[in-house]
Amino acid sequence: MLIVGELINASRKAIGEAISIQDAEAVKKVAIDQYEAGANFIDVNAGIFVGKESEYLQWLVTTVQEVVDAPCCLDSPDPAAIQAALSVHKGTAMINSISMEKARYDALIPVIAGTDLKVIALCMSDEGMPETAEQRLKIADRLINGLVQNNMKIDNIYVDPLVQPVATNKTFGIEFLKAVEAISTEFKGVHTMCGLSNISYGLPNRKFINQAFAVMAIAKGLDGLIINPLDKRIMANLITAEMLSGRDDYCSNYLRAYRSEKFEF
């Protein structure tokens, strides 16, 4: 399971403030905490700062990489901001994200073609947000083919089928899950990942819903998540769900995690 730590996101009040006053120590602490909790990538997002996003995203990457060895997940819909962040990033970053929106796709392909970067392929197009599994699959197919034709390795592609709130439409959970299953089986070797929080939008007790949904998605083949790795309960659930879906040889990862006493089993 690939864990991307989501906490360095400017839409969170404390991080937005830290960025605007360039409080490097505050950002570094959140980076170290997530890394020590088991994050494989540290997501960085400065999306609320219109006009300054590129500059701030660069600052986040530099600041995070001063204290942790993990690479960053460069989270922006703006290809210029991603390119700016890449220019200061050390090691192999993850791009979050490319989509089938034409302007975004055309600008990002030349940046990533032939590289060893990891890339999140978000199931979104100029026709808007997909609602059914079938719509997601069509976009995923075009994205995967486009990326492979541009010499991206299958193993570096992480399709995000796009989580939509179940309070808006009762089918949004199941259609997402069907998409994870279909992508995992039809495109062998491609990974699937997502952020969780949209599923519970508008409902009480959101963490609980997010956790149940994560477990269901892992059962369908999901192998990456953008989450808060400091949440010891969701971490314990992910590790357990991976074991139960046949992806933990000799249950060794579960046993090691349990014995470490780092998580809430």
The verdict on 194 binding ligand THG (CB under 6 A) reads yes
The verdict on 52 binding ligand THG (CB under 6 A) reads no
**Among candidate residues 15, 10, 3, 98, the one with its CA nearest the CA of residue 41:** 3
Q: Rounded distance, CA 44 to CA 160, Å?
A: 17
The nearer residue to ligand THG, 61 or 257, going by C-beta atoms, is 61
Position among 152, 217, 226, 241 found at the interface with ligand THG (CB under 6 A)? 226
The verdict on 211 binding ligand THG (CB under 6 A) reads no
Residues 6+ apart with CB under 8 A from 12: none
The verdict on 75 binding ligand THG (CB under 6 A) reads yes
Position among 3, 120, 144, 235 found at the interface with ligand THG (CB under 6 A)? 120
Position among 54, 76, 83, 97 found at the interface with ligand THG (CB under 6 A)? 97
The nearer residue to ligand THG, 46 or 182, going by C-beta atoms, is 46
Q: Could you tell me the smallest distance in angstroms from the CB atom of residue 195 to ligand THG?
A: 2
**Among candidate residues 119, 126, 127, 239, the one with its CA nearest the CA of residue 191:** 119
The nearer residue to ligand THG, 96 or 156, going by C-beta atoms, is 96
Q: One symbol per residue from 163 to 192: x for binding ligand THG (CB under 6 A), - otherwise; what is it?
A: x-----------------------------
Q: Which listed range, 4-12, 62-70, 212-220, 250-258, lies at the site for ligand THG (CB under 6 A)? A: 4-12
Q: Which residues bind ligand THG (CB under 6 A)?
A: 6, 9, 12-13, 75, 96-97, 120, 122, 160, 163, 194-195, 197, 206, 226
